[in-house]
Amino acid sequence: MHIDLPCNLRYATGLARAGLGALIFALPLMMTMEMWEFGATVDRLRLALTLTLSLPMLTALSYYAGFEPTSSLLDNVLDAFAAFLVSLVTCLIVMALFAEITAMSLDALAGKLAVLSFPASIGALLADKQFNDRPDEQPRTSITAGFAGRLFVMGVGALFLALNVAPTDEIELIAINIHPFQAAAIAVTSLAILILTLRAIDLEFDDLPGRLTTHMARGFAGYGVCLLLSAYVLWFFGRTDGKALDEMLESIIVLAFPASLGAGAARLIFGGGKDE
Amino acid sequence: MTRKKKLEDNETPLLEWICGGAGALLFFVIVGFTLFNGMTMKGPAAFRYQTTGMEAVADGTRQIAFLVENIGEKPVTDLRVRVTLMNGDQDGQQRDINVETVAAKSTVKATAVFTDPAAAEVKFETLSYREP
């Protein structure tokens, strides 16, 4: 354990960067009315499950990105918890500034902060990618990504954008208004955008980019992740409750559209990844 | 513990241990608390109303501010409340008010606006609500 000042100051700088990342990523959600209500009304068991599942995801994200360089699993676990703490404090301050912390039960307050701190933690751990003040440092993901890492990075991007859009009523409205053919067209468009994005990234970062079929396979895998995560996010927000299967599928396809854009954007932020 | 692991532990700043520990504590408290509430809070929603102010306004209206408290164990949305001015035993003016969300064990402020300046008693009635 280091108790010398420069080492702790470096970590404090990382924490400040994490706070800024949390703020930038979660501010749209903190300013969304549906999220204020959702924190109080969310099914508590779904919230507990989502928070529990977020822990290994945040630990892995700390490995691939993080707000400071890490050297061990313990380091990544500590940073995941620190990101959660920073996000919680950031959300508490901002919600208090917005007068959204009023006379409410501890349960409602905990729900509100927990719901917001989940996406904010992702932002906190992506802070290094956004505000890296060490331009000479080689990105960690380029070295260690591989197929699983690549899918994970896409999943984080998909989850992040899906979380930003899913609480709104518009997903449900779009799903109700569109014809099944339009839903199929949205699915094909999402997949095509993801494949083209992945190909563009690999063309930029790799000296020997793979064939189009390779990118198509990666795109299908990525879109599959987007669909699964969109289904989970809709379930978490209670948007699948009491829905007919076809309506539910259309909602998933609609949400997977921004999710696949998020997946592509995440790969773009993280750069290319070599197969292992 | 191997020498390598010891070295890795030694490289962790004190602040990281403090923040990581505090974060872990908060994380498990929130998850535990949420789980506990999810498993124990199963009763229906129930409401208590409390008048907090009656004010005559220059435009000739009378504004009655009140608190809606959900004393039950389930949150509700689209709560409809009927506020009735009482003239003795007789019902006077009525106003139906829609409250968007009331979390369990929480309160929400609302105000009903009347044009009758005389009546002093108020009656509250829960009309309907939706389970989120």
Per-residue model confidence as pLDDT tens digits over B112-129: 998 876 767 889 999 999
DSSP B105: T
- Give the mean model confidence (pLDDT) for residues B93-121: 85
Give the pLDDT band of residue A218 (cuts 50, 70, 90): confident
As a whole number, mean pLDDT of residues A166-175 equals 88
Q: Does the distance separating the beta carbons of B26 and A85 come in below 8 Å?
A: yes
Rounded mean pLDDT, A153-162: 92
pLDDT of residue A255: 96
Q: Is the pLDDT of residue A133 over 60?
A: no
Taking CB atoms and an 8 Å limit, are A74 and B105 in contact across chains? no
Smallest Cβ distance to B38: which of A40, A45, A108? A45
Q: Please give the average per-residue pLDDT across A129-153, as a whole number.
A: 64
Which secondary-structure segment (H or E) carries B110? strand B107-114
**A183 part of contact set with chain B, CB < 8 Å:** no
Report CB contact under 8 Å: A37, B101: yes
C-beta atoms of B10 and A40 within 8 A: no
Nearest-Cα residue of chain B relative to residue A76:
B20
**B19 to chain A: which residues are within 8 Å by CB?**
11, 15, 78, 81-82, 85-86
Contact B23 A84 (CB under 8 A): yes
Of B14, B26, B41, the CB nearest to A2: B14
Contacts of B60 (CB under 8 A, 6+ apart): B115, B117
Mean pLDDT of A95-110: 84
A67 and chain B in contact, CB less than 8 A: no
Over residues B19-49, the pLDDT tens digits come to 888 888 988 998 898 888 888 877 889 999 9
| Average pLDDT taken over every residue of chain A | 85
| A60, pLDDT greater than 50 | yes
